[in-house]
Amino acid sequence: MEQTLPSRAQVLPRVTRVGAPARPLASTPGTPAPALSALGLLTVLLGAALPMVDFFIVNVALPTIDRDLNAGPAVLEMVVAGYGVAYAVLLVLGGRLGDMFGRRNLFLWGLGLFAATSLACGVAPTAWTLVAARVAQGAASALLLPQALATIQAATSGSSRGKALSYYGATAGIASVVGQVLGGVLVSADIAGSGWRSIFLVNVPVAAVALVLALKSVPETRSANPAKIDRAGTVLLAITLITLLLPLTEGRAAGWPLWSWVLLAVFPLAAAAFVAVERRGERTGGNPLLPPSLVRIHSVRSGLLLIVPFCLGFGGFMFVLAVAMQDGLHFGALAAGAALAPLCAAFFAASLLGPRMVARFGRDVVTAGSLIQAVGLVSLAATFHYGWPDLGVLTLAPSMAILGFGQGFVLPVVLRIVLSEVPAAQAGVGSGAMATTQQSSLALGVATLGTLFLTLSSSVGVRDALVWALVAQLAAVAATVALSLRLPRKVV
């Protein structure tokens, strides 16, 4: 029998790091993909939860931050927007860096930087110092989050991958709600007189624990043929997202100055230039930041399209509800967080049922979940309209539970669908693209529904402004229902 010489890829040495065991490259031909243990999966999910929690945890603390730092509306919105914009802008780049330098390596760096920037937020002496620290925290989150998804994609296969992606989707939704619940608890507890600062300081020990666990349990994976950094694409994507998100989040509070309109005018030009550069890069054999061929995959394209209206509505809902309950119903931070507990519990229950339901009913689970979400929104809007202002946590609980149950059938399944057909070698860029779409849509929801609510509340009152914001979210849910019919019929 003729002997076959091993290829160069097969004789590549295993990568070692000081103090860490040698681990094979997940996508190197000829070597088995490293298995992600249960502890490893728990660790990457914990790391992924930290950035998601921090996007929302600040919502219930904004009134306290305003009083303590004399921030004002425009700066308060920057505390939210600075994190969200930096996070969204750098996510795809974070995924590409993981493909190049190792996802475990970047996961560890991301955890360390997230802990450091959280500490900076917690000790910020002024409002603008807090804004700067939040921008840095968003950048650290963009380095951290894509590695979690890409590690799951590269270090699992078959039914294990499907379950792991479902767990990630459940984590994404639950962490978003838990962020506001936890924020309310911490602000109300006022641990050692820390007030709002504890919502950031709590990240430091949690990130430290995740870092220790990652050193022991997360395998190193990377692309066998990592692409170089697409400088033009990176810059154009950053310009595209900044020119859309920054004016929408800051324009109203700043009085819609000239710069906000100039940036909005630049947005479509930057977006068109980004698409053109990425198409040309792939056509000429370059290394586009977001390969158009990736978006042409049916599961990726249809899933990303559905994520936009869902996350837009979800992000706006969480922000508007936090403000309305505190400014309109005069809930304390603890009550405002506790009101979301039924939504969180129902979301978790639905996410546990999701994998079995998807195996049997496919994409119909997403359609049904969207319709249940619509019922919850209508019920919640009616509760606010007819029960205002004599509402409490228990009064809101039924509608919140219906809403969360529907959402739990949508988000985990869609996130699983997006990555189901992405090649392992493109796990980082695929994860980055999905996370960018998710994060940009959340930030866009805060900007659009938040602006609608804050504008109307000064003229028609908080109750009616909240009801109109919920009605606007129903339009996003209708789009979700329609787009669910374009998903793959069966979920791998």
List phi, psi (to 5°) of 488. Answer: -55, 140
The answer to pTM > 0.85 is: no
Sorted by sequence, the CB contacts under 8 Å of residue 129 that are 6+ apart come out as none
Three state DSSP letters for 365-381: HHHHHHHHHHHHHHHHH
- Cβ atoms of 25 and 222 closer than 8 Å: yes
Tokens of 251: 């324009």
User: Mind listing the pLDDT tens digit of every residue in the chain (492 residues)?
Assistant: 444 434 433 333 333 333 333 343 444 444 455 678 889 999 999 999 998 888 888 878 888 898 899 887 778 878 887 888 888 888 878 888 888 888 899 999 999 999 999 999 999 999 999 999 999 999 999 999 888 888 888 888 777 877 787 788 778 778 877 887 888 888 888 888 888 999 999 999 999 999 999 999 999 887 777 667 788 888 998 899 889 888 887 787 778 889 999 999 999 999 999 999 989 988 887 778 788 888 888 888 888 999 999 999 988 898 888 888 888 888 887 888 888 889 988 988 888 887 788 878 888 999 999 999 999 999 999 999 999 988 988 999 999 999 999 998 898 888 778 877 777 666 667 777 787 888 888 888 888 888 888 889 888 989 999 999 999 999 999 999 999 998 888 766
Sorted by sequence, the CB contacts under 8 Å of residue 328 that are 6+ apart come out as 388, 389, 457, 462, 463, 466
